[in-house]
Amino acid sequence: QVQLQESGPGLVKPSETLSLTCTVSGDSINGHYWGWIRLPPGKGLEWIGYIHYTGQTNYNPSLKSRVTFSVDTSKDQFSLELTSVTAADTAVYYCARVSRLLNLLNIPNYYYHAMDVWGQGTTVTVSS
């Protein structure tokens, strides 16, 4: 059974850097894309981005200037760093596996992807 677990500080000061790690168990980080999503209080889900196990990334344009993803295949972990945080970055942060669900047009390595396994989420509050 695949499980994802987010970890990191629950409280970050304004202007500092938010750092989170997602540990994957029951599956290898190799071969997949891995995503980050957040849920601000009283709002809807916001996609932050995803990283391939090779290191290829795709970020939400609205956060791109402040966010960096990394992956450690030896530990089956991937991480998120968000710089210059403000209260608006307060949220529950989720990591998720972005899986290949359907091969498209019978073309090798051409798949439709969606987030089919999610972590339980971790609450991060930005406050002094």
Q: Please report, as ranges, the residues that interact with other proteins according to CB under 8 A.
A: 37, 39, 44-47, 58, 60-61, 94, 101-102, 104-105, 112-116, 118-121
CB of 5 to other proteins, least distance (A): 11
Give me the residues paired with residue 3 across strands: 25
Q: Which residue number, 16 or 92, has a Cβ lying nearer to other proteins?
A: 92
Residue placing its CB nearer to other proteins in the complex, 40 or 83: 40
Q: Which is nearer to other proteins, 11 or 104 (CB)?
A: 104
How far apart are CB 78 and other proteins at their closest, in Å?
A: 17
Is 36 buried (19+), middle (13-18) or exposed (0-12) by CB count in 10 A? buried
CB of 120 to other proteins, least distance (A): 6
Cα angle 104-29-106, degrees, rounded to a multiple of 5: 10
Q: What is the CA radius of gyration of the chain?
A: 15
Residue 16 or 111 with smaller CB distance to other proteins: 111
**Non-local CB neighbours of 18 within 8 Å, separated by 6+ positions:** 8, 9, 12, 80, 81, 82, 83, 85, 89, 124, 126
Min. distance of Cβ 98 from other proteins in angstroms?
A: 9
28: CB partners within 8 A, 6+ apart? 76
